[in-house]
Amino acid sequence: MKLSEITPDTSCPCSSGVLFSDCCGKFITTKQHPPTAESLMRSRYTAYAIGEIEYLTRTLPLMDRKKFDRAGAKIWSEQSEWLGLEVIEVKENSPVHATVEFKAKFKIGDEEHLHHEKSRFEKQMDRWFLIDGKILNE
Ligand SMILES: [Zn+2]
Protein backbone atom coordinates (compact mmCIF):
# COMPACT_ATOMS: atom_id res chain seq x y z
CA MET A 1 0.00 0.00 0.00
CA LYS A 2 1.15 3.52 -0.78
CA LEU A 3 0.22 6.72 0.99
CA SER A 4 -1.62 7.80 -2.18
CA GLU A 5 -3.86 4.70 -1.98
CA ILE A 6 -5.08 5.52 1.51
CA THR A 7 -8.66 6.78 1.68
CA PRO A 8 -10.57 8.25 4.65
CA ASP A 9 -11.85 4.71 5.39
CA THR A 10 -8.47 2.99 5.48
CA SER A 11 -7.66 1.20 8.72
CA CYS A 12 -4.22 1.92 10.06
CA PRO A 13 -1.62 -0.59 8.84
CA CYS A 14 -0.26 -0.82 12.42
CA SER A 15 -3.16 -3.12 13.41
CA SER A 16 -4.54 -0.67 15.99
CA GLY A 17 -8.07 -1.09 14.64
CA VAL A 18 -8.30 2.69 14.23
CA LEU A 19 -8.46 4.66 11.00
CA PHE A 20 -5.11 5.68 9.52
CA SER A 21 -6.06 9.35 9.78
CA ASP A 22 -6.73 9.00 13.54
CA CYS A 23 -3.64 6.87 14.18
CA CYS A 24 -0.21 6.87 12.54
CA GLY A 25 -1.42 9.16 9.76
CA LYS A 26 -1.45 12.06 12.21
CA PHE A 27 2.30 11.72 12.65
CA ILE A 28 3.31 10.70 9.13
CA THR A 29 1.30 13.29 7.22
CA THR A 30 1.43 16.24 9.63
CA LYS A 31 4.06 17.80 11.81
CA GLN A 32 2.48 16.36 14.96
CA HIS A 33 4.92 14.21 16.95
CA PRO A 34 4.01 10.85 18.50
CA PRO A 35 3.36 11.43 22.22
CA THR A 36 4.71 8.04 23.36
CA ALA A 37 7.44 5.59 22.38
CA GLU A 38 4.75 3.08 21.41
CA SER A 39 2.99 5.50 19.08
CA LEU A 40 6.34 6.33 17.50
CA MET A 41 7.11 2.64 17.03
CA ARG A 42 3.68 2.03 15.48
CA SER A 43 4.05 4.94 13.11
CA ARG A 44 7.46 3.69 12.00
CA TYR A 45 5.94 0.30 11.18
CA THR A 46 3.22 2.07 9.21
CA ALA A 47 5.85 4.15 7.40
CA TYR A 48 7.51 0.90 6.27
CA ALA A 49 4.12 -0.45 5.21
CA ILE A 50 3.34 2.57 3.01
CA GLY A 51 6.87 3.38 1.87
CA GLU A 52 7.33 6.70 3.69
CA ILE A 53 11.11 6.49 3.99
CA GLU A 54 11.46 10.19 4.84
CA TYR A 55 9.40 9.61 7.97
CA LEU A 56 11.70 6.76 9.03
CA THR A 57 14.61 9.16 8.68
CA ARG A 58 13.11 12.01 10.64
CA THR A 59 12.22 9.78 13.62
CA LEU A 60 15.93 9.16 14.18
CA PRO A 61 18.10 11.52 16.22
CA LEU A 62 19.82 14.11 14.00
CA MET A 63 23.25 12.53 14.36
CA ASP A 64 21.96 9.13 13.15
CA ARG A 65 20.16 10.31 10.05
CA LYS A 66 23.18 10.40 7.76
CA LYS A 67 24.11 6.78 8.35
CA PHE A 68 20.55 5.50 7.95
CA ASP A 69 20.35 3.14 4.98
CA ARG A 70 17.49 4.79 3.11
CA ALA A 71 17.98 2.69 -0.02
CA GLY A 72 17.90 -0.53 2.00
CA ALA A 73 14.80 0.58 3.90
CA LYS A 74 13.08 1.48 0.63
CA ILE A 75 13.81 -1.94 -0.86
CA TRP A 76 12.61 -3.74 2.28
CA SER A 77 9.52 -1.55 2.37
CA GLU A 78 8.59 -2.07 -1.28
CA GLN A 79 9.46 -5.76 -1.59
CA SER A 80 7.31 -6.69 1.37
CA GLU A 81 3.64 -7.08 1.82
CA TRP A 82 3.10 -5.85 5.38
CA LEU A 83 0.72 -8.14 7.22
CA GLY A 84 0.46 -6.65 10.68
CA LEU A 85 2.05 -5.53 13.88
CA GLU A 86 1.87 -6.92 17.39
CA VAL A 87 3.22 -4.87 20.27
CA ILE A 88 4.42 -7.33 22.90
CA GLU A 89 5.67 -5.12 25.71
CA VAL A 90 6.22 -1.45 26.40
CA LYS A 91 8.53 -0.46 29.24
CA GLU A 92 9.04 3.08 30.39
CA ASN A 93 12.37 3.04 32.13
CA SER A 94 12.38 6.75 32.88
CA PRO A 95 10.36 9.74 31.66
CA VAL A 96 12.70 9.96 28.65
CA HIS A 97 13.67 6.31 28.04
CA ALA A 98 11.47 3.47 26.88
CA THR A 99 11.70 0.10 25.17
CA VAL A 100 9.08 -1.42 22.90
CA GLU A 101 9.14 -5.09 22.00
CA PHE A 102 7.17 -5.96 18.88
CA LYS A 103 6.59 -8.47 16.14
CA ALA A 104 6.03 -7.32 12.58
CA LYS A 105 4.72 -9.79 10.04
CA PHE A 106 5.47 -9.40 6.37
CA LYS A 107 5.59 -11.45 3.22
CA ILE A 108 8.15 -11.44 0.45
CA GLY A 109 6.88 -13.40 -2.52
CA ASP A 110 5.17 -16.43 -1.02
CA GLU A 111 7.26 -16.50 2.11
CA GLU A 112 6.04 -15.10 5.41
CA HIS A 113 8.54 -13.53 7.76
CA LEU A 114 8.43 -12.38 11.33
CA HIS A 115 10.55 -9.49 12.49
CA HIS A 116 10.83 -9.61 16.30
CA GLU A 117 12.64 -6.67 17.80
CA LYS A 118 13.11 -4.77 21.01
CA SER A 119 13.70 -1.10 20.22
CA ARG A 120 15.05 1.61 22.48
CA PHE A 121 13.54 5.07 22.38
CA GLU A 122 14.62 8.33 23.92
CA LYS A 123 12.88 11.63 24.36
CA GLN A 124 15.00 14.59 23.32
CA MET A 125 13.67 18.12 23.40
CA ASP A 126 10.16 16.83 24.07
CA ARG A 127 10.15 14.49 21.12
CA TRP A 128 10.60 10.70 20.96
CA PHE A 129 13.30 9.20 18.72
CA LEU A 130 14.36 5.66 17.88
CA ILE A 131 17.81 5.01 19.31
CA ASP A 132 18.43 1.42 18.26
CA GLY A 133 16.91 -2.01 18.15
CA LYS A 134 17.86 -5.54 19.01
CA ILE A 135 16.58 -8.37 16.83
CA LEU A 136 15.22 -11.20 18.94
CA ASN A 137 14.75 -14.82 18.04
CA GLU A 138 11.35 -16.38 17.82
ZN1 LIG B 1 -1.37 3.25 13.42
Distance, CA 52 to ligand 1 centroid (Å)? 14
Distance separating alpha carbons of residues 79 and 75, to the nearest angstrom: 6
54 HSE (CA, 13 A, CB side): 6
Indicate the average pLDDT of the chain.
96
Q: What is the pLDDT of residue 38?
A: 98
Distance, CA 24 to ligand 1 centroid (Å)? 4
pLDDT in tens, 101-124: 999 999 999 999 999 999 999 999
* Core vs surface per residue 64-74: b (16+ CB within 10 A) or e: eeeebeeeebe
Distance, CA 71 to ligand 1 centroid (Å)? 24
Distance separating alpha carbons of residues 105 and 75, to the nearest angstrom: 16
Q: What is the pLDDT of residue 137?
A: 76
Distance, CA 108 to ligand 1 centroid (Å)? 22
Distance, CA 55 to ligand 1 centroid (Å)? 14
Distance separating alpha carbons of residues 60 and 121, to the nearest angstrom: 9
Distance, CA 93 to ligand 1 centroid (Å)? 23
- Domains of the chain (ranges; CATH) run 3-135 (3.10.450.50)
Q: What is the pLDDT of residue 17?
A: 97
